[in-house]
Amino acid sequence: MNVGKVPESVLKRSIIKQIRTKRPEILMGAAVGEDCALIKLKDNEVFVMSTDPITGTSYNVGSLAVHVTANDIASAGAEVVGVMLSVLLPEGTEEEELKSMMKQVEETCHELNIQTIGGHTEVTRVVNQPVITVTGIGKVDKDSIVTTGGANPGDDVIVTKWIGLEGTSIIAREKEAELLKRFKPSFVEGAADFIKYLSVVPEAAVAAKHGVTAMHDVTEGGIFGALWEVAEASSVGLRIDLKSIPIRQETIEICEVFGINPYQLISSGSMLITAQRGHDLVEELSVNGIHAAVIGKVVSGNDRILINDDEKRYLEPPKSDELYKIYDV
């Protein structure tokens, strides 16, 4: 496709036509010539909004973009209603690639009951791979909002599923040829398939009903970054048992190949939660088919301590995500 806004015919058949999931709150959604969406909420509900770009990979970027934004909104205890897409494509992109991306978006929206309500699509010389930014709109009762900064001393710290899921999946796809020299195809394909775990919407729903004090999805900067952000937002300290943090063997072995610290690897699919009765929440999550573990305690003061057997060290502020190391190899 040529530089500029995509033609109306492309917009209709490869974007608008793909949008099938509908929500009753949406009074006006995606349509040719409409620049805004209209959403109706109840009197006691508030909007929750979040936006994220996907720049670290071009694989399954449509699905990934929706999951990342939906996870942010779910972390606030909210239900995602709609998403708006800003899609920038490099010059020469084939329409089929755009249509495939939109199919990924719609499949994920259907899975999570989200409506695509608008956006912008453009071919431009300023990008060399597709860049998709998703803005999500959610709703929640104003008395049920959960924040990142709600952790209190005495709370348990819980992590759902396993850290490094998103990063492992991306590396397995981006570096497939190199990994196949070291591992069996089934191992690499299994790691790439971690993308199926990326939604934290189910655990957020369970946790919100349990009565948690804080939730934060684990994204760039990995679990170390997420722990720091919760502690900083809540003005509290932490005591975390490193060996209690759940991690898959595939993540450990793939990270070793590229000299990556898995605890600082992008980890969508894992939720960091604080709650007064953490072990009860872990049990409740397990009943709902979601693996989780208590990994430590919230404490008074500002010390954020990582414990590894007899060794203790202090958590540091988030650094650049370890994922970017694979592009330097």
Q: Where are the domains of the chain?
A: 4-144, 148-327
pLDDT for 57 beyond 70: no
Residues in Cβ contact with 236 at an 8 Å cutoff, skipping those fewer than 6 apart: 151, 152, 153, 298, 299, 300, 301, 302
* Measured distance CA(27)–CA(117) in Å, rounded: 10
| pLDDT reported for residue 42 | 87
Distance (Å) of CA 290 to CA 130, 169, 284: 33, 19, 9
CB 66 within 8 A of CB 109: yes
Tell me the mean pLDDT in the region 4-23: 86
| pLDDT reported for residue 36 | 79
Higher pLDDT, 110 or 11: 110
Fold of 148-327: Phosphoribosyl-aminoimidazole Synthetase; Chain A, domain 2 (3.90.650)
* Measured distance CA(321)–CA(329) in Å, rounded: 15
Pair type for strands 214-217 and 156-160? unpaired
Look over the chain and give the mean of its residue pLDDT values, rounded to a whole number.
93
* Measured distance CA(31)–CA(119) in Å, rounded: 10
Instruction: State the residue for tokens 């330097």.
Output: 328
* Measured distance CA(327)–CA(302) in Å, rounded: 35
- Beta partners for residue 123, in sequence order: 4, 89
User: Does the reported pTM lie above 0.85?
Assistant: yes
Burial environment of residue 180 by CB neighbours within 10 A (0 to 12, 13 to 18, 19 or more): middle
| pLDDT reported for residue 159 | 98
CB 258 within 8 A of CB 171: yes
Residues in Cβ contact with 41 at an 8 Å cutoff, skipping those fewer than 6 apart: 25, 47, 139
Structure tokens given for 142: 């104003």
Tell me the mean pLDDT in the region 142-149: 92
**Run of H or E residues at 14:** none
- Strand arrangement of the beta sheet that strand 271-275 belongs to: 214-217, 271-275, 156-160, 292-299, 237-241, 304-308, 311-314
Pair type for strands 304-308 and 237-241? parallel
Share of the chain above pLDDT 90, in %: 80
Instruction: State the residue for tokens 């060794």.
Output: 311
| Single-letter amino acid code for the residue at 146 | V
Fold of 4-144: 60s Ribosomal Protein L30; Chain: A; (3.30.1330)
* Measured distance CA(129)–CA(57) in Å, rounded: 9
Opening angle at CA 163, ends 162 and 168, nearest 5: 105
CB 250 within 8 A of CB 187: yes
* Measured distance CA(266)–CA(163) in Å, rounded: 8
* Measured distance CA(73)–CA(49) in Å, rounded: 7
Lowest mean pLDDT among 15-29, 46-60, 139-153, 217-231: 46-60
| pLDDT reported for residue 2 | 76
pLDDT band at 12 (very low <50, low <70, confident <90, very high): confident
Higher pLDDT, 302 or 2: 302
Could you report the per-residue pLDDT of 165-194, keeping only the tens digit for each? Answer: 999 999 999 999 999 999 999 999 999 999
Structure tokens given for 32: 């040719």
